[in-house]
Amino acid sequence: MNDNKKKSFKRRDFISTATLAGLSLSTLSTKASIPTTKPSSGKRMIGELEVSAIGLGCMSMTSGHYNPPRNHKAMEAVVKGAFDRGVTFFDTAEYYGPFTNEEVVGNALKDIRKQVIIASKFGFQFDGNRPTGRNGRPEHLKKAAEGMLRRLKTDYIDLLYLHRVDPEVPIEESAGAVSDLIKEGKVRYFGISETSPETIKKAHAVQKVTAVQSEYSLIERVHENQVIDTCGELGIGFVPWGPVTRGFLADKFNEYSRFSDDSRFASVSYYTPEAIANNMALLDLARDWGLRKGITPAQFSLAWLLAQRPYIVPIPGTTKLQHVEENMGAIDVNFTVVELKEFRTELEKIKLVGVREPESALTNK
Peptide bond into 310 cis (omega under 30): no
pLDDT beyond 50 at 337:
yes
User: For residue 116, what pLDDT band results from cuts at 50, 70 and 90?
Assistant: very high
Lowest mean pLDDT among 229-243, 254-268, 315-329: 254-268
Query: Is residue 167 within 8 Å of 128, Cβ to Cβ?
Result: no
Q: Which residues contact 323 (CB under 8 A, 6 or more apart)?
A: 11, 250, 298, 316
In whole angstroms, how far apart are CA 206 and each of 202, 239, 266? 7, 21, 39
Catalytic residues: 96
Q: HEC profile for the chain? A: CCHHHHHCCCHHHHHHHHHHHCCCHHHHCCCCCCECCCCCCCEEEECCEEEECCCEECHHHCCCCCCCCCCHHHHHHHHHHHHHCCCCEEECCCCCCCCHHHHHHHHHHHHHHHHCEEEEEECEEEECCEEEEECCCHHHHHHHHHHHHHHHCCCCEEEEEECCCCCCCCHHHHHHHHHHHHHCCCEEEEEEECCCHHHHHHHHHHCCEEEEEEECCCCCCHHHCCHHHHHHHHCCEEEEECCCHHHHHHCCCCCCCCCCCCCHHHHCHHHCHHHHHHHHHHHHHHHHHHHHHCCCHHHHHHHHHHHHCCCECCCCECCCHHHHHHHHHHHHCCCEHHHHHHHHHHHHCCCCCCCCCHHHHHCCC
pLDDT recorded at residue 261: 81
Strand partners, 127: 130
Lowest mean pLDDT among 20-24, 45-49, 183-187, 194-198: 20-24
- How far is the C-alpha of 77 from the C-alpha of 80, rounded, in Å? 5
**What residue ranges define each of the domains in the chain, with the CATH number in brackets?**
3-35+42-362 (3.20.20.100)
Residues in the chain: 365
Q: What is the mean pLDDT of residues 221-235?
A: 98
Note if the pTM is more than 0.95. no
Minimum mean pLDDT range among 41-55, 111-125, 212-226, 252-266: 252-266
In this prediction, residue 68 carries a pLDDT of 83
Judging by beta carbons within 10 Å of its beta carbon (0-12, 13-18, 19+), is residue 33 exposed, middle or buried? exposed
Any idea what the Cα angle at residue 135 is, between residues 130 and 139, rounded to 5°? 115
Q: Please tell me the distance from the alpha carbon of residue 146 to that of residue 295, in angstroms, as a whole number.
A: 43
Tens of pLDDT, residue by residue over 243-283, are: 999 999 999 998 889 988 878 888 899 999 999 999 999 99
